[in-house]
Structure 1
């Protein structure tokens, strides 16, 4: 179910944000959001500790795994390179990789800082 929602959300963003000026905005957006959310989910133990592990795995691997897309990134990049859109291709790679890393760091930071409340011990 999580994979269905993640993949469906990615598809809808692709419909809402079509490729404009040769730049695949929807793919960039889903990969950046997915990077930040997956990093947050994997470091928010104080929140996710109350969940069954299947929920975290379902959200991470199923939902966010289906939402993000390396294969579409690769296909978009291949198309840009075939059209010799070198600058756009370089910008696409840079935004995706550097932006993904920055949003991953932001996800880790927010999980550790904003969600750092104590987990109540069960009696």
Structure 2
């Protein structure tokens, strides 16, 4: 695995109130959902075919989550609203488990069980692989943040 800095504290200052966090997540969610909707308009999926747009949304969103989580939890000290805004909000609104499930159901309903099973398995495998690979690559490329004692995490 990896060593996590002992003092993974947010940026100095007061902690945000729950209402601030909720508003931050909502604002990020609007941005992420609009980006996802825009992608579906740019690259529509024909009925009964492999849902490539949703597939790539979930893979790229998972990759971005890998990058974000390493940066904000291991490599940088950031404002306490960055993680809820970008992670839960933007990337949570951008990625879509519900559309993934509906796409699979539609393929099954359209007697495309093979395509549905391929979609279900490859999306999961690709999204998790993207998350892992991007996390690992980020750890290799970005120096760890110093610990309070001046050392750095491995």
TM-score where L is the length of structure 2: 0.71
CA distance in 1, matches of 2:44, 2:86: 26
Residue 59 (structure 2) pairs with residue 32 (structure 1)? yes
Residue 31 (structure 2) pairs with residue 2 (structure 1)? no
Q: Give structure 2 stretches of 5+ with no counterpart.
A: 1-26, 149-154
Deviating more after overlay: 51-60 vs 17-26 = 17-26
Quote the offset at 1:118 in angstroms: 4.5
Structure whose CA Rg is larger: 2
Q: Give structure 1 stretches of 5+ with no counterpart.
A: none
Aligned residues: 119
Quote the offset at 1:117 in angstroms: 5.1
> In structure 2, do the counterparts of structure 1 residues 3 and 91 end up closer, same or farther at CA, with 3 Å as the change threshold?
same
Post-superposition Cα deviations, 1:21-75, rounded to whole Å, max 9, x if no partner, equal 612111101100111111221112313x2x2121122100000000000000000
Query: Which gives a bigger RCO, structure 1 or 2 (Cα 8 Å, sep 6+)?
Result: 1
Residue 102 (structure 2) pairs with residue 42 (structure 1)? no
Residue 48 (structure 2) pairs with residue 19 (structure 1)? no
* Structure 1 or 2: more helix by fraction: 1
